């Protein structure tokens, strides 16, 4: 009887390991912006969003920390204000434009500050 119990216990432990693997896999963010790894320069960081250098285009961008398509109006204003401060310092006032088109990652709110080509 003890042998059966141990064998059963072993099987249950294996099942539990598999379940934990599946849960961990589900928890890992698939979205590049959800990961928010510090691989480029970060200009500003808060609990709700980050202003950082975009890895693809090297322009400043602001990223909301939660995976949503649209930020709340008050948060949107704060995000744009902080991105504006960074872009004004980097490019000079009036020498950049706000790009709110989310081309590559469409379901995670983020905006770029792009220099105006002259």
Which of 6-20, 28-42, 84-98, 104-118 is predicted with the least confidence, judged by mean pLDDT? Answer: 6-20
Residue 8: the pLDDT is 78
> Which stretches within 28-100 are classed as H helix?
32-35, 73-91
Summarised one tens digit per residue, pLDDT across range 44-94 is: 999 999 999 999 999 999 999 999 999 899 999 999 999 999 999 999 999
Q: Break the chain into its structural domains and give their ranges.
A: 1-29, 32-115
Q: Are 39 and 111 contacting, i.e. CB atoms less than 8 angstroms apart?
A: no
Q: What are the distances in angstroms from CA 84 to CA 38, 92, 105?
A: 21, 10, 21
32-115 CATH choice from 2.40.100.10, 3.30.70.100, 3.30.428.10, 3.20.20.80: 3.30.428.10
Closest CA relative to residue 59, chosen from 7, 18, 106, 117: 117
Cα separation values, 107 from 31, 83, 92, Å: 9, 20, 30
- What is the model's pTM? 0.73
Q: Quick one: the chain helix, strand, coil %, rounded to 5?
A: 40, 20, 40
């Amino acid at each position: 009887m003890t042998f059966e119990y141990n064998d059963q216990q072993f099987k249950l432990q294996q099942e539990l390991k598999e379940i934990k693997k599946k849960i961990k896999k589900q928890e890992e963010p698939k979205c590049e912006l959800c990961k928010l790894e510090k691989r480029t320069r970060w200009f500003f960081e808060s609990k709700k969003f980050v202003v950082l250098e975009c890895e693809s285009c090297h322009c400043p961008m602001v990223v909301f920390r939660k995976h949503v398509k649209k930020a709340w109006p008050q948060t949107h204003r704060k995000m744009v204000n902080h991105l504006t401060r960074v872009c004004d310092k980097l490019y000079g006032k009036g020498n950049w434009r706000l790009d709110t088109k989310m081309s590559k990652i469409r379901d995670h709110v983020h905006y770029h500050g792009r220099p105006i080509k002259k």
